[in-house]
Amino acid sequence: MLFNSLEYPVFLAVIFFLYWFVTTGKTARNLLLVTAGYVFYGWWDWRFLSLILISTCVDFSVGLALGRTENKQKRRTLLALSLVTNLGILGTFKYYDFFADSFANLLTAAGLQVNPISLNVILPVGISFYTFQTLGYSIDVYRRKIEPTRDAPAFFAFVSFFPQLVAGPIERAGQLLPQFQQTHTFDAKTAREGLGLILWGLFKKVVIADTCAVVANFIFANHAAQGPLVLAVGAICFAFQIYGDFSGYSDIAIGSARLFGFKLMTNFRTPYFSRDPAEFWRRWHISLSTWFRDYVYIPLGGSRGRRERVILNVMATFTLSGLWHGANWTFVIWGFLNSLYYLPSLWQGKKKTGRTEETGKLPSLDALGDMAGTFALITLAWVFFRAPDLGTALAYLSGFFDFFIFTGLAQLNQMTGGSFYGLFVLIPFLLAVEWLHRDQEHPVPVDHFPTLLRRPVYYAMALAVFVLMEHQQAFIYFQF
Amino acid sequence: MRRFLFKTTLWLVGFFLILKAVGMLDNLDRTNENILRIRQVGTLSNLDVLFVGNSYTHTGIDPLQLRESGLETYSLGINAAGVAFYRLLLDDYTRQTGAIPKTIMLLVSPMSFSRFADTFPSIPIHRYLYHPLSNETVAWRFGAPYDQLLRRSFRKGLANAPLLFTAEEESADMKEMLTYRGFVPSRMTFSGKVHPEIAASYEPLSRDPFPMDSLEDLQDLALEYRNKGARVVFYELPTGEAPGLFHAQFLDDYERALADLKKNGFEVLRIQWDTRPLDFRNMDHLNSRGAARATGAIAEYLSEKPGTAAGGHAEESVR
């Protein structure tokens, strides 16, 4: 079920009603949320519910078993069972064909003819998200960071919580699981904030991201006929498309969770105001970045040790993070490129947090330069993320060196049905809202406005969403 | 909780009311050819023949040519019309004029039974009538997608809002159409080649089954107007390449449907000749030359077979 479909508000209203008016007590409510999660996921394809069920059962059992034994060898074996199950499912459904084909291509290049066996399975929606979430639980129990839970309904609800099931935020068991182990009481203010976040998230997705998508899709599909300026517009549009799309999803997820009294982690903190790539990665898809930091980068050795080792750790973590996004070399290169961006900040010793928040009402020229430079680097890398294959990405980038700078610009608005000009309003609007609320955890643009002003703005946003929702476009991160 | 629910409900009601209020302006447009046709035909209470059909009708039937045969005629061809549109158009016409045309000609073609027929969200004919129907009514009666109807009405209403304060002139094309009583003459000639993009847009037709329930609705409509005293004739115009868009089973079922109509005592007039691209303005719509031939064939048929309201005529094929 898509958040930007008409089924979702109906589904949400039904679950809200059942949660607050029909069920009482945490177990009954957790069972309701499990059912809701399975219905939500099964709406797309019920067959793949079995994968969630397997992951959940294995990690719940592994957690219990880890809690019963102090034997190191046994504990390692149990963790291995969780890792093999979860990464095995992920590997089979997401990566098998990619690696089999890549291996076959390598052998063919070496002069050996092979016919790889392809599984050609459908990629289950959101598999990378819930797999990482449930895997994180087993690792945390193994590390004794959290106690294993014996509350099966709570654990099942934790894994299949519908607001964040298919595209995150990837929650930590230590943060979210305890919320399923308490009985929530309704708080109107939290619920109202939740609704505001849902609306703002929908606006970012349906109005901003989907409009950017029209322009980006056109330019990427016809990149060979465009000059450098239009190619730059295409990359910038994709940068805002993916931001509006994914942060919009996160806002809807966080808002939906709030309706039930749950607090999900922040996933984006105005990333395009970052002043260097390292800061960007502390502000973009925070739940995944911190997952890789805690479960991959630090176990590899983190920033400790010799410089060569640290470089290797950073590169490995970013490259794996790229691969997490999709089974394609474009994602691997995207991750690798970002690791190169990240490295200088390791030794510069720059202050790590709060740089954007500390900036005055308007950014200084120095800060503005840093932001623009960072945005340019990140946007360049997005070309690999967006392109269907490496050849297209390289051809796109080579187009930046074309002599005829303005080729294609005059026709762009007409070819995109007026969407291009629309972006001159939408993108500055998004940036202005984000800038003004950069010190807030989840900014909803008009939340602090007086009622008389707030209502019309909310209505205008809702109407824009409703009208533009006609051509439902799936969220980009669903495919991961 | 109670307060939260009350305020949320109130907000949603407000949202719905804004949608409805703006959507009510969706039929103010005076340059919409469908609105203009409906408004014009609603002033003609003395029609001998009313042609109802889709765009094949408004490009293929020339009422002024039929006037030469002494017949007061109107070409009420509305884009994407199917059985549901026919029903609304006829009911609205009779309600507005208080009259029933002596002869009602209802177009039949594979396209008027296809998924491209009766597409209320793209051609919201119910809103263009003299006595407009609400989106709710149409969604309920014809199963049209309600959200799309609301969306369309809101968009159109928003675009039409300035018309509340300005006078809008009919364009030259629209004036010509009104002069020709709904007919849209075209001097363009089909090149004989269908653009791949256009062919691709029709591709879903090759998978669709023939909708038997539409046939029943069509017979009910025809029977109802025959009982009211009108002579009802089903007519088919040449449609060039269009039949090739459907699969064989669909076309077989369509032929059976026409045989069914004939068996039930309805007149079925199939206008056929060895068509050439020269007779068409595009893949499946007649141009002025084709329209003259088709209209001539109909005039000949009507003069040769004056018919009666009770019907009971056999299939005729005019070549």
Q: pLDDT tens across B130-168, in order?
A: 999 999 999 999 988 999 999 999 999 999 888 888 766
Q: What is the pLDDT of residue B241?
A: 78
> How far apart are the CA of A183 and the nearest CA of chain B, in angstroms?
16
Taking the C-alpha atoms of residue A49 and residue B200, their distance in angstroms, rounded to an integer, is 36
- Tokens 């006609």 identify what position? A470
Helices (H), A260-306: 277-283, 286-292, 298-300
Closest CA to A254 of A462, A441, A129: A441
Instruction: Flag the least confident range among A85-89, A261-265, B29-33, B305-309.
Output: B305-309
Name the domain boundary from A128, A160, A185: A185
> How far apart are the CA of B151 and the nearest CA of chain A, in angstroms?
5
Judge: A192–B4 Cβ closer than 8 Å, yes or no: yes
Give the B-side interface with A, CB within 8 Å.
1, 3-4, 8, 11, 14-15, 18-19, 147-148, 150-151, 154-155
One-letter amino acid at B12 equals: L
Give the mean model confidence (pLDDT) for residues A204-208.
93
> How far apart are the CA of A221 and the nearest CA of chain B, in angstroms?
16
Judge: A6–B3 Cβ closer than 8 Å, yes or no: no
Express as a percent the part of chain A with pLDDT over 70. Answer: 93
Contact A259, A161 (CB under 8 A): no
Report which DSSP code applies to A123.
-
Judge: A466–B14 Cβ closer than 8 Å, yes or no: no
Q: What is the pLDDT of residue A443?
A: 66
> How far apart are the CA of B27 and the nearest CA of chain A, in angstroms?
18
List, as ranges, residues 402-461 from A with C-beta within 8 Å of B: 455, 458-459
In which band, very low, low, confident or very high, does the pLDDT at B319 lie, cut at 50, 70 and 90? very low
Q: Which two tokens stand for residue A95?
A: 């990566």
Minimal Cα distance from A20: which residue of B? B1
Across chain B, mean pLDDT equals 87
> How far apart are the CA of B286 and the nearest CA of chain A, in angstroms?
30
What angle do helix axes A451-468 and B2-23 make, rounded to 10 degrees? 60
A159 and A214, same structural domain?
Answer: no
Residues of chain A contacting residue B14, judged by C-beta atoms under 8 Å apart: 455, 459
A463 contact B CB<8A: yes
Helices (H), A260-364: 277-283, 286-292, 298-300, 307-325, 329-348, 355-358
Q: What is the pLDDT of residue A174?
A: 93
Within 13 Å, how many C-alpha atoms sit on residue A165's CB side? 31
Domain interval for residue A384: 190-479
Residues in Cβ contact with A240 at an 8 Å cutoff, skipping those fewer than 6 apart: A208, A209, A212, A423, A427, A430
Contact B311, B216 (CB under 8 A): no
CA distances from A206 to A137, A437, A474, A475, B111 (A): 33, 21, 10, 10, 34
- Phi, psi (5° rounding) for residue A358? -80, -15
Q: Which two tokens stand for residue A323?
A: 């691969």
Q: Which two tokens stand for residue A402?
A: 């074309």
Judge: B8–A195 Cβ closer than 8 Å, yes or no: yes
Taking the C-alpha atoms of residue A312 and residue A442, their distance in angstroms, rounded to an integer, is 35
Q: Which two tokens stand for residue A136?
A: 């994180």
Contact B54, B112 (CB under 8 A): yes
Q: Which of B1, B8, B14 sits opposite A186 (nearest CB)?
A: B1
Q: Which of B1, B11, B151 sits opposite A466 (nearest CB)?
A: B151
Complex ipTM:
0.79
Q: Is residue A99 part of a domain?
A: yes
Give the mean model confidence (pLDDT) for residues A123-132.
85
Give the mean model confidence (pLDDT) for residues B35-60.
90
Q: Are strands B267-271 and B316-318 parallel, antiparallel or unpaired?
A: parallel
One-letter amino acid at A412 equals: L
Judge: B155–A186 Cβ closer than 8 Å, yes or no: no
Q: How far apart are the first and last CA of chain B?
A: 74
Judge: B15–A467 Cβ closer than 8 Å, yes or no: no
Give the mean model confidence (pLDDT) for residues B220-243.
90
Minimal Cα distance from B5: which residue of A? A188
A462 contact B CB<8A: yes
Long-range contacts, A390-393 (Cβ 8 Å, 24+): A390/A329, A390/A330, A390/A333, A392/A220, A392/A223, A393/A330, A393/A333
Mutation target among B2, B3, B4 for the A interface, most CBs of A within 10 A? B4
What angle do helix axes A390-398 and A228-259 make, rounded to 10 degrees? 130
Judge: B11–A458 Cβ closer than 8 Å, yes or no: yes
Helix or strand or coil: residue A330? helix
Q: Which of B3, B18, B154 sits opposite A459 (nearest CB)?
A: B18
Active site residue A285: no
- Tokens 């945390």 identify what position? A140
Q: What is the pLDDT of residues A61-71, one digit of tens each?
A: 999 999 998 89
Helices (H), B45-145: 55-60, 63-67, 83-97, 125-128, 135-142
Q: Which stretches does DSSP call E strand in A97-166?
A: none
List, as ranges, residues 5-24 from A with C-beta within 8 Å of B: 6, 20
Q: How far apart are the first and last CA of chain A?
A: 16
Minimal Cα distance from B7: which residue of A? A192
A195 and A71, same structural domain?
Answer: no
In which band, very low, low, confident or very high, does the pLDDT at A356 lie, cut at 50, 70 and 90? low
Q: Is residue A427 part of a domain?
A: yes
Residues of chain A contacting residue B1, judged by C-beta atoms under 8 Å apart: 20, 186, 188
Helix or strand or coil: residue B264? coil
Q: Which of B14, B147, B155 sits opposite A459 (nearest CB)?
A: B14
Report which DSSP code applies to B189.
-
Q: Is residue A1 part of a domain?
A: no
Judge: B151–A467 Cβ closer than 8 Å, yes or no: yes
Contact B62, B180 (CB under 8 A): yes
Taking the C-alpha atoms of residue A180 and residue A429, their distance in angstroms, rounded to an integer, is 37
> How far apart are the CA of A207 and the nearest CA of chain B, in angstroms?
15
Q: What is the pLDDT of residue B309?
A: 43
Give the mean model confidence (pLDDT) for residues A341-354.
69
Mutation target among B151, B153, B154, B158 for the A interface, most CBs of A within 10 A? B151
Mutation target among B2, B6, B8 for the A interface, most CBs of A within 10 A? B8
Minimal Cα distance from A456: which residue of B? B15
The CATH class, in words, for B30-131+170-318 is: alpha beta
Judge: A467–B3 Cβ closer than 8 Å, yes or no: no
In which band, very low, low, confident or very high, does the pLDDT at B19 lie, cut at 50, 70 and 90? very high
CB pairs under 8 A between A and B: 31
Give the mean model confidence (pLDDT) for residues A161-172.
90
Q: What is the pLDDT of residues B259-271, one digit of tens each?
A: 999 998 899 999 8
Give the mean model confidence (pLDDT) for residues B280-301.
90
Domain boundaries, chain B: 30-131+170-318
Helices (H), A349-450: 355-358, 365-386, 390-398, 409-415, 419-436
A167 and A211, same structural domain?
Answer: no
A118 and A199, same structural domain?
Answer: no
Q: What is the pLDDT of residue A60?
A: 95
Give the mean model confidence (pLDDT) for residues A165-180.
91
Contact B111, B310 (CB under 8 A): no
Judge: B154–A192 Cβ closer than 8 Å, yes or no: no
Q: Which of A325, A442, A448, A471 is catalytic?
A: A325
Q: Which of B11, B15, B154 sits opposite A467 (nearest CB)?
A: B154
Taking the C-alpha atoms of residue A470 and residue A422, their distance in angstroms, rounded to an integer, is 17
> How far apart are the CA of B198 and the nearest CA of chain A, in angstroms?
18
A236 and A102, same structural domain?
Answer: no
Q: What is the pLDDT of residue B310?
A: 41
Residues of chain B contacting residue A455, judged by C-beta atoms under 8 Å apart: 11, 14
Return the higher-pLDDT residue of A41 and A361: A41
Burial letters A19-49, b for 16+ CB under 10 A, else e: bbeeeeebbebbbbbbbbbbbbbebbeeebb
* CB neighbours of residue A288 within 10 Å: 22
Judge: A191–B4 Cβ closer than 8 Å, yes or no: yes
Task: Compute, in degrees rounded to 10, the torsion defined by CA atoms B52, B57, B235, B125.
Answer: -30
Taking the C-alpha atoms of residue B192 and residue B11, their distance in angstroms, rounded to an integer, is 56
Judge: A6–B8 Cβ closer than 8 Å, yes or no: no
Q: What is the pLDDT of residue B314?
A: 42
Taking the C-alpha atoms of residue A142 and residue A155, their distance in angstroms, rounded to an integer, is 16
Contact B241, B206 (CB under 8 A): no
Judge: A20–B1 Cβ closer than 8 Å, yes or no: yes
Contact B120, B126 (CB under 8 A): yes
Minimal Cα distance from A185: which residue of B? B1
Minimal Cα distance from A459: which residue of B? B15
Q: How many domains does chain A have?
A: 2
Residues of chain A contacting residue B154, judged by C-beta atoms under 8 Å apart: 463, 466-467
Q: Is residue A286 part of a domain?
A: yes
Contact B240, B192 (CB under 8 A): no
Which residues on adjacent β-strands are paired with residue B105? Answer: B51, B233
> How far apart are the CA of A93 and the nearest CA of chain B, in angstroms?
31
* CB neighbours of residue B68 within 10 Å: 11
Q: What is the pLDDT of residue A127?
A: 85
Minimal Cα distance from B9: which residue of A? A13
Mutation target among A260, A452, A466, A471 for the B interface, most CBs of B within 10 A? A466
Q: Is residue A138 part of a domain?
A: yes
Name the domain boundary from A146, A165, A185: A185
Judge: B18–A463 Cβ closer than 8 Å, yes or no: yes
Across chain A, mean pLDDT equals 88
> How far apart are the CA of B142 and the nearest CA of chain A, in angstroms?
20
Q: What kind and span of H or E run contains B73?
A: strand B73-77
One-letter amino acid at A141 equals: V
A48 contact B CB<8A: no
